Structure formats: C-alpha cells, structure tokens
Chains A and B, each alone.
Chain A
Amino acid sequence: MKIHEYQAKSLFRQYNVPVPNGSVSTNSAEAAKIAEQLGLPVAVKAQVHAGGRGKGGGVRVAKTPKEVVEAAEAILGMSLVTKQTGAVGKKVNKVLVEQGVNIKNELYLSIIPDRETATITIVASQDGGMNIEEVAEATPERIIKVSVNPVTGIKGYHLNQVAFGLELEPALRKPFSALLKNLYALFVDYDCSMVEINPLIITGDNGVMALDAKMDIDSNALFRHPDVVQMHDPDEDDPKEAEAAKFSLNYINLDGNVGNMVNGAGLAMATMDIIKQAGASPANFLDVGGGANAEMVENGFRIILSDPNVKGILINIFGGILRCDVLASGVVQAAKKVKLSVPVVVRMEGTNVDEGRRILAESGLKLIGAADLADAAKKVAELVS
C-alpha cells in the first residue's frame, strides 16, 4: 500500500530522519497560512501516488504570499499527468507546503527487499534527483548496493559501505549514517516493500535531509500497522478495484473488451493470455479465489459489467475440491440475479464436469458452453469482434 509524501514524512519525523518543516492542506487560504508560519520561500507539492510530479507541474516554489495562493490554486484540483499516471492523470486534492531549504548537493537513497537473496538491499547514488532506473542503465558504476541480512540487521560496516561509497565529506558521514540507520529501522518496523528518498539533500550547513519521501508498505502486513491503514486514501483507488476488494475479489482493470472471471491467479493470467492469442483483448484480471462460490461469481459479474468496454465475458473455472456441478449452479444463480447484457462463454473443467455442463445447458440462460480453453477463447473473440 502506497502512502503520500506528507504521510511518509510524518513517519520519518518519528524515526528522526530529518525532513523540511511543512504541513498538508486542501485549500489555498490554508496553504497561505502554513507558508506564513513557515516563512518564505516555500515549496508547494501535489500529493498524489505518482513519481515525476515536478515535471508534470505538480511542484512549485513560491517566494511571496501571493505566489503561494497562486501555486496552491493551480495545483489543487488539477489532473496531474506524469510518466506514471497515464494520459488521464491524477486529480490532486492535497498539497504539502514545505519550508524552502538550501541545497548544496543531491543524493539518492532507497531500501528494498531482495526476493532472490532474501536480504534487505540499500541502494544509493551520488546522482540524486534523477530517474534511478536511467542512472542504473547508463552508469551502473554510479549505483551502490549493500545487502543486509534481516536476521542480524544493519551494522556499522553497512553504514560505512554506503557512506564511503557515496564519497561523503568526513563531516557528513555521521549525520548520514544516523539517517540511514533510522531509515532502516523504519523500513523494518513498518514492513515496507520500498522506501525511497530522491533527492536526499546535503544542506548548506552540512546537514542531510529527505527532500522527498516515498513509502510502499506490504499489504500482507497491514494487520500489524493500524496507523498505516488509517493513512489509506480512497481517492487513489480505481473505483472498480476498490469495489472488488470489498468482496475479497482480486480485480485489475485493463483496456480490452473481453471481461473474464477465473478461479486462481495463475489460471487467470493464463486465461488473459489465451484471450489475446485468440485475437481479442482482456478487459480485466479477476481472480475469484481457489474456492469460488455463487456470491463471489455474482459480485464478479457486477464488477465486470460496470466496465462499459466489456462486450463479452469468458468464465474459466477449474473445479477441484469445489465440484463443477456446484460451481455451475452458482454461475446460473448469479447470472439470473445479474442482468446479463453481453454474451457469456463458460469453460468449465474438473470434477463432475458433465453434470456441471448439463446444469449450464438446461438453465435457460444464454450461457455458451466451450469444449476446452482454446475453444472458449475462440468463441468469445468471435462474439466481440
């Protein structure tokens, strides 16, 4: 789960990771008041879950009270388009007003788990403020990576490897090491899947400070972070995906026209692939879980049909422990409740499949049976073309 910059910075403060003074606001009058308290100049920063905000016009520096109001008014309500948002952009509802700081140098610092080596990896670079993936591509020698064993935790030599690797001036090593140690503690304590500071700045008076803050928290660990759950911003969710999540359905909206409903994530991905191979395009990913029941299928139908691009639906269910006849009854029940406005192809396989197919055929509904996966994909592709 991603959180906003201002939320991440509030956690940074708790962990003694230096950040500029600032406060969040939803209107320009309040923004002006915050700026007055902080003292000018200030930075006014759009609070959306997307990188590249500066380039998209979502970050402005204001030197006078009038400029603060202008900046806040320009940013609040705008649809911010960056590399990461897509063409539609993201609507900005909050700005962070932050004290201007004297920047001497910009660094990059992040912490991520490494799935391959089961370690926690610190990534740092002297090339702060730039797209780190581009830096890694063009000048890999400018990237420092230090792996920490999560059982023994971060030690002095890890801090040294990063600090000396960044060729920091001697006076900066101590404050930098303290920052990194605290950031690592935050990363572990909050079950992060990513913490990124870009740029990490060296200030005019030889201090270090997180000018930006990105945090992504492992959704599986939210049960032990009620404070993070409170930080969830529903404005950042896709409405259909949020609706699906309410029913424990795993839904991702895509731009095709074949809706599909599958039990199990791997089979769902494979079903999307086979739709594409048949010449159509998937409108979504929808995993109704290994043990799909009538209620889940019904909710799945509703969510798929709320996408106006959907011209046909493919249901692909492998009946394992949950038998095909039970699943078929569920599909029929759900289809009767939901007004089906598009053709539905059902491919069912597994235990008691003949009984399941009979139930579908005798339902009186326009459910189109398929002999196998390839047949199902071909049929649905023909129906939407």
Chain B
Amino acid sequence: MSILINKNTRVLVQGITGQEGQFHTRQCIEYGTNVVAGVTPGKGGQSMDSVPVYNTVRQAAEQTGANASMILVPPPFAADAILEAIDAGIDLIVCITEGVPVMDMLKIKNYLAGKKTRLIGPNCPGIITPGECKIGIMPGRIHKPGGPVGVVSRSGTLTYEVVHQLTALGMGQTTCIGIGGDPVNGTGFLDCLERFNADPETEAVVMVGEIGGNAEEKASAWIKANMKKPVVGFIAGITAPPGRRMGHAGAIVSGGQGTAEAKIAAMEESGIHVCKDLGSLGKLCKKVFV
C-alpha cells in the first residue's frame, strides 16, 4: 500500500510540450509512471513521444481516463491550469510550478474546499510511491520501494537528502510527498500525516519542516493526539535571520512567528524524535524505526 498514488494512477501532464514538461514527462515515464495524456492548448492532436496531446484537460480526461495531473506551466498560467483540472474532476493535481502569486493560491484554496480534488503544491518536487508511480521532478533512483517509511516535507533537495540517507541505510519508503515551500499550498502536513497513519504499510514517518507559518506546530499537536506511528522530525532554518525570505516564499520569520526554535519545541513536546543535525538523520531513523 501507499498513499494518494500507486501503479494504477493514470497521469496527464499540463504543459507537456514545454521544455520542462517534455524533460520531466520522459523522466516520469522512464521511472514507470503511467502517463496517459498531455495538455497544451493549440497542440491537440499532436503527441509528445508516444503520449497523445489534447487541447483541454476535460478532453484529455474523457479520452484517456486520466485521474491525476502534473502541472509544469509558467507561473502566470498556473492558477488557470489548476482551476481547469479541478473543474475537469481530476482527483489529484500536482503543481510543480514555482512563483505562483499568493492571491491566486488564496482563491484556489477556497475554491477547492468541499471538492473531491486534492492539490499538492505549488512550488514542490511532487509525490512518489517508489517502484510504482512518480509524479514530480524528484530523482527516482534514490528511492527504495516497499516501505516502511513515509516522508512528508516542505522542501525539494532537502527531501532528496533525507530519502537518500534512508535508502543508504536500507529503509525503503511507502510514499514521499513534497508539499511545497509556498505560504499557501493545497496539501499540508496534516493531510499527509492522517493518510500515513491510516496506511497499513507505513510504519513510521519522517516530517521535514522549515521556518515560517505554524503548520509544523499544528501537525505536532495532531501527532500528539492521534499518531500511532513513530515520527522523526527535522526543521531547517535555525540560523535564518528574521524578516528575510529564505528562498522559499513561505520561509520567513515575521513578527517573532514561525521560528525554528518554536517548531522544534512543539515537535519535542509532542513526542516527535527531532533530528538537530541533518547529517545524522538516517541514523536516528534507524535507531527509532528499526
């Protein structure tokens, strides 16, 4: 088992004919993802390698039965692409695009409420169920199929680092999700933790947070009350100066809120095993999980 995606997931790619779209679609297919369609308005009827391209998401979904979408379009068009996929009834949208305006995401987040669609991202590496399906830009080969660890993170390369350490020490992953570094995103820590908690194959979870907002604090409180599985946590940004955005739009300490110290304290208080030195995260997982 896994969460959100598996070998039966049928993926369409919005922006498939762009440079990034082509490159990452090929990487996903090479990994084994079932990419059934692409969408680029005006290029319907063409194909990218052997993947048929459609003008609209609705057409693509109707013709191919796609139930997940990977979005790789430039930021000015990302909100449009997300809304189109929601209205076409796509179950899972993974928006990789970095630089989506906050105002667009505020509206999308409210529009999503009560709908069946789940959005991951934007500004994220995507989601992977190792050995089955990869929807995103993460390097597939660093992952190890079969579990037992679930990974959820706000960062891209930091997640790769974590996964690499797990794999190197023989700990496979059920599903790894990058929820993205923007202040307003579709899926948060809580959504992922609930699913990992319910997934019989996931026996332990690694949660990687960073400065800004209070998602880690809320997740910690939930973990304390509900989580049946051990959690190892890591927070990046102890040395980040207040008031500065550290690369990610959401990574900012403002008005004393969102500090690494507060997040680490909340995690420790909730019984999460906090790793303070990234270099030893894999070893800590081995100690706690195995």
A residues adjacent to B (C-beta < 8 A): 113, 115-116, 118-120, 133, 149-151, 188, 191, 193, 218, 220-221, 223-224, 250, 252, 254, 262-270, 272-277, 281-282, 285, 287, 290, 318, 320-321, 349-351, 372-375, 377
Pair A263/B101 contact, Cβ less than 8 Å: no
Contact of B246 among A269, A274, A374 (CB under 8 A): A269
Interchain CA distance A149-B276 in the complex, whole Å: 38
In the complex, which residues of chain B have a beta carbon less than 8 angstroms from the beta carbon of A272? 237, 239-240
Pair B157/A151 contact, Cβ less than 8 Å: no
Pair A115/B276 contact, Cβ less than 8 Å: no
Interchain CA distance A374-B282 in the complex, whole Å: 13
Q: How many contacts between A and B, using CB within 8 angstroms?
A: 168
Give 4 A-B pairs besides A252-B246, A264-B155, A285-B240 with Cβ atoms closer than 8 angstroms: A150-B110, A266-B248, A320-B160, A349-B164
- Please name the residue on chain A nearest to B255 by beta carbon: A133
Pair B161/A321 contact, Cβ less than 8 Å: no
Pair A351/B141 contact, Cβ less than 8 Å: yes
Task: Using known A-B contacts A115-B213, A150-B110, A267-B155, determine if residue A318 contacts B161 with beta carbons closer than 8 Å.
Answer: yes
Interchain CA distance A238-B277 in the complex, whole Å: 31
| B279 at the A interface (CB under 8 A) | yes
Q: What is the CB-to-nearest-CB distance from A263 to chain B, in angstroms, rounded to a whole number?
A: 5
In the complex, which residues of chain B have a beta carbon less than 8 angstroms from the beta carbon of A191? 101-103
Interchain CA distance A172-B210 in the complex, whole Å: 45
Pair A285/B141 contact, Cβ less than 8 Å: no
In the complex, which residues of chain A have a beta carbon less than 8 angstroms from the beta carbon of B142? 320, 350-351
| B271 at the A interface (CB under 8 A) | no
Which of B129-177 touch A at CB < 8 Å? 137-139, 141-142, 153-161, 164
Interchain CA distance A265-B238 in the complex, whole Å: 13
In the complex, which residues of chain B have a beta carbon less than 8 angstroms from the beta carbon of A372? 279
| B184 at the A interface (CB under 8 A) | yes
Contact of A318 among B101, B164, B213 (CB under 8 A): B164
| B39 at the A interface (CB under 8 A) | no
Q: What is the CB-to-nearest-CB distance from B52 to chain A, in angstroms, rounded to a whole number?
A: 25
Pair A277/B181 contact, Cβ less than 8 Å: no
Pair B138/A320 contact, Cβ less than 8 Å: yes
In the complex, which residues of chain B have a beta carbon less than 8 angstroms from the beta carbon of A373? 277-279
- Please name the residue on chain A nearest to B237 by beta carbon: A269
In the complex, which residues of chain A have a beta carbon less than 8 angstroms from the beta carbon of B248? 265-266
Interchain CA distance A285-B240 in the complex, whole Å: 8
Task: Using known A-B contacts A193-B102, A274-B279, determine if residue A321 contacts B246 with beta carbons closer than 8 Å.
Answer: no
Pair B75/A350 contact, Cβ less than 8 Å: no
Q: What is the CB-to-nearest-CB distance from A122 to chain B, in angstroms, rounded to a whole number?
A: 14
Number of interface residues of B (CB under 8 A): 61
Pair A151/B107 contact, Cβ less than 8 Å: yes
Q: What is the CB-to-nearest-CB distance from B97 to chain A, in angstroms, rounded to a whole number?
A: 10
In the complex, which residues of chain A have a beta carbon less than 8 angstroms from the beta carbon of B35? none
| B81 at the A interface (CB under 8 A) | no
Task: Using known A-B contacts A218-B102, A350-B164, determine if residue A277 contacts B247 with beta carbons closer than 8 Å.
Answer: no
- Please name the residue on chain A nearest to B153 by beta carbon: A266
Pair A287/B255 contact, Cβ less than 8 Å: no
- Please name the residue on chain A nearest to B159 by beta carbon: A266
In the complex, which residues of chain A have a beta carbon less than 8 angstroms from the beta carbon of B109? 118
- Please name the residue on chain B nearest to A376 by beta carbon: B279
Pair B213/A118 contact, Cβ less than 8 Å: no
Pair B103/A270 contact, Cβ less than 8 Å: no
Pair B214/A374 contact, Cβ less than 8 Å: no
Pair B110/A321 contact, Cβ less than 8 Å: no
Pair B160/A220 contact, Cβ less than 8 Å: no
In the complex, which residues of chain B have a beta carbon less than 8 angstroms from the beta carbon of A118? 105-106, 109-110, 184
Contact of A252 among B155, B210, B244 (CB under 8 A): B244
- Chain B CB within 10 A, most for which of A115, A119, A149, A275: A115
Task: Using known A-B contacts A118-B106, A150-B103, A320-B139, determine if residue A254 contacts B157 with beta carbons closer than 8 Å.
Answer: no
Task: Using known A-B contacts A220-B75, A252-B246, A374-B280, determine if residue A290 contacts B157 with beta carbons closer than 8 Å.
Answer: yes
Contact of A265 among B155, B184, B208, B280 (CB under 8 A): B155
Pair A321/B139 contact, Cβ less than 8 Å: yes
| B99 at the A interface (CB under 8 A) | yes
Task: Using known A-B contacts A113-B184, A116-B213, A273-B238, determine if residue A218 contacts B103 with beta carbons closer than 8 Å.
Answer: yes
Q: What is the CB-to-nearest-CB distance from A84 to chain B, in angstroms, rounded to a whole number?
A: 8
Interchain CA distance A120-B255 in the complex, whole Å: 18
Pair B157/A119 contact, Cβ less than 8 Å: no
- Please name the residue on chain A nearest to B23 by beta carbon: A321
Q: What is the CB-to-nearest-CB distance from A155 to chain B, in angstroms, rounded to a whole number?
A: 15
Task: Using known A-B contacts A151-B110, A266-B156, A349-B161, determine if residue A220 contacts B102 with beta carbons closer than 8 Å.
Answer: yes
In the complex, which residues of chain B have a beta carbon less than 8 angstroms from the beta carbon of A268? 246-247
Q: What is the CB-to-nearest-CB distance from A106 to chain B, in angstroms, rounded to a whole number?
A: 21
Interchain CA distance A330-B205 in the complex, whole Å: 35
Contact of A270 among B27, B125, B158, B280 (CB under 8 A): B158
Q: What is the CB-to-nearest-CB distance from A76 to chain B, in angstroms, rounded to a whole number?
A: 26
Interchain CA distance A295-B155 in the complex, whole Å: 24
Pair A318/B157 contact, Cβ less than 8 Å: yes
| B249 at the A interface (CB under 8 A) | yes
Pair A151/B111 contact, Cβ less than 8 Å: yes
Interchain CA distance A262-B158 in the complex, whole Å: 10
- Please name the residue on chain A nearest to B248 by beta carbon: A265
Pair A150/B107 contact, Cβ less than 8 Å: yes
Pair B213/A265 contact, Cβ less than 8 Å: no
Interchain CA distance A220-B139 in the complex, whole Å: 26
Pair A266/B181 contact, Cβ less than 8 Å: yes
Interchain CA distance A267-B237 in the complex, whole Å: 9
The 5 closest A-B pairs by CB, nearest first: A266-B155, A265-B247, A264-B157, A266-B158, A320-B139
Pair B160/A350 contact, Cβ less than 8 Å: yes
- Please name the residue on chain B nearest to A137 by beta carbon: B256
In the complex, which residues of chain B have a beta carbon less than 8 angstroms from the beta carbon of A350? 139, 142, 160, 164
Task: Using known A-B contacts A193-B102, A350-B142, determine if residue A264 contacts B236 with beta carbons closer than 8 Å.
Answer: no
Contact of A285 among B183, B215, B246, B278 (CB under 8 A): B246
In the complex, which residues of chain A have a beta carbon less than 8 angstroms from the beta carbon of B208? 266
Pair B247/A250 contact, Cβ less than 8 Å: yes
Interchain CA distance A115-B238 in the complex, whole Å: 21
- Chain B CB within 10 A, most for which of A287, A290, A320, A374: A320
